[in-house]
Amino acid sequence: MSQHILLIEDDPMLTELYQTKLEMDGFDVTVATDGEDGLAQAKKLKPDLILLDIMLPKLNGFDVLKSVKQFQPTATIPVIVLTNLGGEKADSDKKLALSLGASEFLVKTFHLPDDIVGKIKSALGTRPAKKTVSR
């Protein structure tokens, strides 16, 4: 049985990119495009991992993260925060996300989809595929 990822992302292009990449890597993916729907899906589906954007309509990612971690049935689900937030606020946003229980805080522009899949596999305790090194 493949592992289930809940992708909470409001950008249609990024949603399609991440969903396609994750499905190609053998994951089942459910998509939510706003924070309220994402929180509802997390509570209903109890996925193996949540990939969470911060800047979301209706309910921001910090509030989703806080609610997921405070709700007993979802409290142990690993949450990887994937955001475009950067610059001066990046350090405080990262500290906040980690203090709320995120297992990783990744800035989208610094990580290719392959890197993100590697982080997901690591968080789930599965080994990422070995990369071949050409010489």
| pLDDT band, very low/low/confident/very high, at 90 (cuts 50, 70, 90) | confident
pLDDT band at 127 (very low <50, low <70, confident <90, very high): very low
The structure tokens 């399609």 sit at 16
pLDDT of amino acid 42: 97
Cβ pair 50, 79 in contact under 8 A: yes
pLDDT-based confidence at residue 39 (cuts at 50, 70, 90): very high
Beta bridge partners of 70: none
**Structural domains for the chain:** 4-124 (3.40.50.2300)
Strands (E), 1-135: 4-8, 28-32, 49-52, 79-83, 104-107
| Average pLDDT of span 105-121 | 90
Return the number of other C-beta atoms located less than 10 Å from residue 46's C-beta.
14
More confident of the two residues 108 and 78: 78
Per-residue pLDDT, 91? 83
User: What's the half-sphere exposure (Cβ side, CA atoms, 13 Å) at 100?
Assistant: 25
Q: What is the pLDDT of residue 111?
A: 87
pTM, entire model: 0.89
Q: Which residues contact 120 (CB under 8 A, 6 or more apart)?
A: 5, 22, 27, 49, 51, 80
